[in-house]
């Protein structure tokens, strides 16, 4: 089975100049700086919350003759805990801990990820990665992957990584009643953040950004190779009790010549946990 794994990106252009008499729109560098500043605070808060994930995957056979015949051949519902935690480089990493598949428990739901990051230990990162890889085996399809996480697209626009991609203005939209500016990006640096075995997989996608605050309202990422594609779209929303905008939904697709796997993940029950230490 082919495996996609996270390994660890910006030439920027200028937005069009506003006509005389109109207020100038933020340039691409302006937007990137606002997003980076926003994400500094976001990372601090998001890396201290845990959420419930309900993830429904559907696999379809692409070898049938017509689109109408491509009925689902298998569905799966995966229930997990999702947690993000900071490492020593002040980057935040997300982990999925599966506890139920199609209503059947696969482990005791004992908040083991939360407990892991509330403890001090040099091997916590390795143990958390082992837990995440263990859960990845429940994904449908022949395309093995562990990048289908709601925080994945944001990796490409953090202050540390934004220099690895080319960004361009791509118009405007309305998301949840909020006017947003759209930035498209294309990863240009090598090695890339995501690899398939030894192969680089350059990402491309878009961010829907509230211009005045730098808040990310939606984010997408697509990884395409000769023999497969993977893409995801994450929508963010406000959780009042946390006063924090967090991922509420992720739609993703993975496809090769034989099959397409479509996923819809919904995130609920966000709650804080305390950790005064970081991943070693």
pLDDT of residue 18: 44
**Residue 145's closest CA among 60, 225, 34, 45?**
225
The per-residue pLDDT for 146 is: 86
Token pair 């022949």 in the structure block, residue: 142
DSSP letters along 163-224, please? GGEEEEEEEEEEETTEEEEEEEEEE-SSS-SEEETTEEE-EEEEEEE-TTT--EEEEEEEEE
* pLDDT tens, per residue, the chain with 280 residues: 555 554 433 323 333 444 444 457 899 999 999 999 999 999 888 888 999 999 999 999 876 655 555 567 899 999 999 987 655 444 556 888 899 999 999 876 666 776 776 665 556 667 777 877 888 899 999 888 888 999 999 999 999 999 999 999 999 999 999 999 999 999 999 999 999 989 999 999 999 999 999 999 999 999 999 999 999 999 999 999 999 999 999 999 999 999 999 999 999 999 987 654 343 4
Range 2-7+27-272 has CATH code 2.50.20: yes
Query: Omega of the bond prior to 191 within 30 degrees of 0, cis?
Result: yes
CA distance 103 to 170: 42
Decide if 26 contacts 12 (C-beta within 8 A).
Answer: no
For residues 184 and 186, give the distance between their C-alpha atoms in angstroms, rounded to a whole number. 7
Report the alpha-carbon angle 118-120-123, nearest 5: 110
Query: CB neighbours (10 Å) of residue 104?
Result: 6
The span from the CA of 207 to the CA of 175, in Å, is 11
Give CA torsion, residues 154, 159, 160, 163, to 10 deg: 90
Q: What is the rounded distance in angstroms from the CA atom of residue 5 to the CA atom of residue 90?
A: 20
CB 146 within 8 A of CB 136: yes
User: Among candidates 246, 280, 13, which has minimal Cα distance to 121?
Assistant: 280
What residue segments make up the domains of the chain, in order of their start? 2-7+27-272
Q: Long-range contacts for 63-67 (Cβ within 8 Å, ≥24 apart)?
A: 63/258
């Amino acid at each position: 089975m082919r495996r996609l794994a996270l390994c660890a990106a910006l030439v920027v252009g200028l937005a069009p100049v506003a006509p005389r008499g109109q207020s100038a729109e933020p340039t691409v560098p302006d937007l990137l700086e606002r997003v980076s500043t926003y994400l500094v605070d976001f990372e601090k808060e998001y890396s201290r919350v845990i959420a419930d994930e309900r993830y429904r995957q559907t696999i379809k056979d692409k070898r049938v003759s017509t689109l109408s015949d491509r009925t689902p051949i298998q569905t799966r519902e995966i229930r997990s805990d999702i947690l993000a935690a900071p490492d020593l480089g002040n980057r935040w990493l997300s982990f999925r801990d599966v506890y139920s598949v199609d209503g059947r428990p696969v482990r005791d739901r004992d908040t083991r990820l939360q407990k892991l990051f509330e403890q001090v230990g040099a091997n916590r990162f390795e143990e958390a990665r082992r837990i995440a890889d263990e859960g990845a085996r429940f994904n449908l399809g022949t395309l093995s992957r562990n990048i289908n996480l709601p925080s994945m697209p944001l990796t490409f626009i953090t202050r540390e990584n934004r220099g690895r991609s080319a960004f361009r203005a791509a118009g405007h939209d309305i998301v949840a009643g909020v006017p947003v500016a759209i930035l498209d990006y294309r990863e240009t640096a090598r090695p890339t953040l995501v690899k398939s075995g030894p192969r680089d997989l350059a990402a491309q996608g878009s961010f829907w950004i509230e211009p005045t605050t730098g808040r990310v309202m939606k984010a997408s990422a697509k990884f395409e190779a000769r023999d497969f594609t993977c893409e995801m779209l994450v929508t963010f929303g406000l959780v009042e009790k946390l006063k924090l905008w967090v991922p509420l939904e992720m739609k993703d697709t993975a496809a090769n010549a034989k099959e397409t796997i479509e996923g819809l993940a919904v995130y609920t029950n966000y709650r804080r946990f305390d950790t005064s230490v970081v991943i070693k």
